[in-house]
Every structure is written in C-alpha cells, then in structure tokens.
Amino acid sequence: MQSFRFKIAAFRPLRILMTAIVCAVMFLSNVLPAYAIHSTPSNPRSGETPLNEIYERSEDALRAEPRTMKDLETEAGKGINEVQGDADLNSNQMNRPDNSQNAVSAEEQVENVLRKLTHKE
C-alpha cells in the first residue's frame, strides 16, 4: 500500500502542471477571439460616424405635415428611402455594396491569419 501512495504522490506536480495548462487554455480561448479579426481601420473611441444630413432630414420629416404619395415616391427614388432620400448617400461615411468591393471578409481574414501561422503562402 505504501508503494501505491508513493506512486500517486509522484503525479502531484503533473496534476498542478495540467491544471495550469487547462487554466491558460481557458483564458486564451476567451481572450484571443477579440484579437483574431482586425477589420475596422477606424478608431473605436470616435464612436458612430455622424450622418448629419440624414439626421436633419429625418427630423424635418417628423415635424412636417403628412406628404402625398407622389412626394414620397419622388424622394424614395433618389436613394435609401422616402425619408432620407439621397442624404449622405455619396459620402464615404456610409458603407454599401458599391463602395465595399475591396473589403476583406472575416472569413478571408481568418484564412490569412491561419495561412501565416502555418507558413503556407
């Protein structure tokens, strides 16, 4: 019986090491996804992009009298919808398919990171 206790006691450093490894893996699995994708070149402290003209047109639509269907169709034909029309549509602030053609998707970014990690070009 004494030899069995001695053998079990010999595994104590291994148990401590395994516990430390499991804790490190759990910590890294929670922290690293935040660093995996760096898709936004903007400063996160700057907040949302101000689209002042859209905001002003929306406020004007709330204050104004109800419009006719002809007015709504005319304004909606200009851009996004009947309230905003073409406000801030041509600015580079708003992301839409026609100005996002060169954007790298999250899947492509992950593939690039994995390719760099495995040294496959």
Domain boundaries, the chain: 1-35, 50-93
Task: Report the share of the chain in percent with pLDDT over 70.
Answer: 64
Q: Which residue has the tokens 């304004």?
A: 75
pLDDT in tens, 67-76: 788 877 777 6
The pair of structure tokens assigned to 47 is 């907040």
Handedness of CA 87, 91, 93, 96 (dihedral sign): positive
pLDDT in tens, 38-66: 655 556 666 666 677 778 888 888 888 88
Q: Is the pLDDT assigned to residue 25 strictly greater than 90?
A: yes
Q: Return the pLDDT at 91.
A: 59
Q: SS3 of 93, please?
A: coil
**How many whole angstroms separate alpha carbon 86 and alpha carbon 96?**
13
